[in-house]
Amino acid sequence: MERKTRSFLISTIDDAQVLLVEGSTSAFAIYQKLRDRYEGSTAHVAHYYINHYFMTIKYEEGTDPMEFFSTFERALKAAAEATGLVTIDEQKSLYFYHAMPSSWKLDLAIWKGSKKSIPYTDLKTNIERKVMDDYAMRKYIIAKGSQSRL
């Protein structure tokens, strides 16, 4: 797991910093080296880098949702291990919502209603259900289309 976390961190930082942390063997060692190099200023702005990375994760319609969920969960875990900060449920929901296709956002906004945020587990369950419903509908349309040709 440590190797995956280290690989994730290396893939998200600039090439100049990759050379700086080249000998580091753990995610925490990478974080410490970057923090020491920038005199602790990294600790204050680390969440900006993490926010930027999470905002680049996108779910594409028609792709495997389980692969997306596992990528998203791994990114959350790696960010928590690297910074030592726990991502709260509202943040997870915000990142997850932002990763959804724009065509789904209206449905999610209606479902959210006047609540401040949708709990992450509820949002994930709702997305899984929507993907499965869309898949079933496509399958039904294809089957119906092939029957009408007979």
Give percent above pLDDT 90 in the chain.
0
Tell me the backbone φ, ψ of residue 21, rounded to 5 degrees.
-105, 15
- Residues 106-132 have a mean pLDDT of 78
The pLDDT, as a whole number, for residue 53 is 77
Residue 1 DSSP code: -
Task: Supply the pTM of this predicted model.
Answer: 0.52
Q: Provide the domain limits for residue 117.
A: 2-148
The pLDDT, as a whole number, for residue 45 is 56
The predicted-structure confidence for 25-71, as pLDDT tens digits, reads as follows 777 787 777 777 766 554 455 666 777 777 788 888 777 777 888 88
Q: Does 18 score more than 80 pLDDT?
A: no
Query: What is the number of structural domains in the chain?
Result: 1
Work out the number of other CB atoms within 10 angstroms of the CB of residue 93.
Answer: 21
